[in-house]
Amino acid sequence: MKPLLGITLKVLSALAFTMMSAGLKTLTTRYPVGEIVFFRSTLALIPLLMWLGWQGDLINAVRTNNVPGHFLRGIIGTCGMYLGFVTLAYLPLHDTIAIGYASPLIVVILAALLLNEQVRFYRWTAVAVGFVGVLIMLSPYLKLETFSGGLAAGPTFGALCALLGAFCSAGAMIQVRRLTQTEKTGAIVFYFFILASTLSLCTIVLGWKMPDGPDMLLLALGGFLGGIGQILVTQSYRFADTSVIAPFEYTTMIWALLFGWFVFGDLPTLTMVIGASIVAATGLFIVWREHHLGVQRARDLEIASQRSGG
């Protein structure tokens, strides 16, 4: 275990994903979302396949016995990706990322409902407090008067898409948990990109726009950064425990604030800062609580084995 290396890789993955979002955000008002999803998914395959080939076991890395499971994960994940890019068209980058922090809270609920995981009082309390933070973040967008122009009129529609995207992201995480029981990481990522590319290609009949040189470069860079980010985050968990790595997911907000300020001239409102801080704090508490319970379970098993051995 090399915790410092794992943390570094996680922070770099957060930077890669935020750079991808910032670059593609500039295209969301000029190109169909399906076209952006296609390039983001298809071009992400290049660094992924290079990485798997470098490991020397490309065929076995993408071998699968659970095509239906990958298909379900692909549909949920692609919907989440679509909603994410729609959100970027209507909201500042940091608001989009902050509302997305609701996803780990939703995972706790779905894990209890779909995976029958035992969720104790402390985690339920943290989830409840976290959703208070989510409501605080959404409050500027959900005032009654904001609906007068119709949901498609602006930020309110974007905020709702962000929340729906968080649900899709949580659903994808649950499906990934199921897949990891039998599938390799390389296969899970590979088939997701394949399905996302295929599904988004179907939207070409709705009318795509041929990108010019600079925009094509941004599309290619976005896809490449998405693939690099996926590799970095996968590798980070090889060098450190989840409880060590997970809190550094929130460094995306630091990068989002920097890119939002210098690239788009956006600064977060006090309401967004307060809500995001509450959600991040509850997320960190859940990670800490899970680590504490894991350590306690390990001690109990060790004591039990010593007694049985005695």
Q: Tell me: the pLDDT tens digits for 224-246?
A: 999 998 888 888 877 877 667 77
pLDDT at 295 over 90: no
* pLDDT digits 0-9 by tens, 129-180: 989 999 899 888 876 555 555 555 578 888 999 999 999 998 988 888 888 8
Per-residue pLDDT band for 184 (boundaries 50, 70, 90) equals: confident
Using a 10 angstrom Cβ sphere, with 0-12 exposed, 13-18 middle and 19 or more buried, the burial of residue 66 is middle
pLDDT at 303 over 60: yes
pLDDT at 95 over 80: yes
HSE-CB for 5 with a 13 A CA cutoff:
8
pTM, 2 dp: 0.85
Residue 5: what pLDDT?
Answer: 87
Decide which of 248 and 47 is more confident: 47
Least confident of 42-46, 146-150, 261-265, 298-302: 146-150
Least confident of 17-21, 193-197, 198-202, 241-245: 241-245
Residue 263: what pLDDT?
Answer: 85
Residue 110: what pLDDT?
Answer: 87
pLDDT at 76 over 90: yes
Share above pLDDT 70 across residues of the chain, in percent, rounded to a whole number = 90
Residue 305: what pLDDT?
Answer: 65
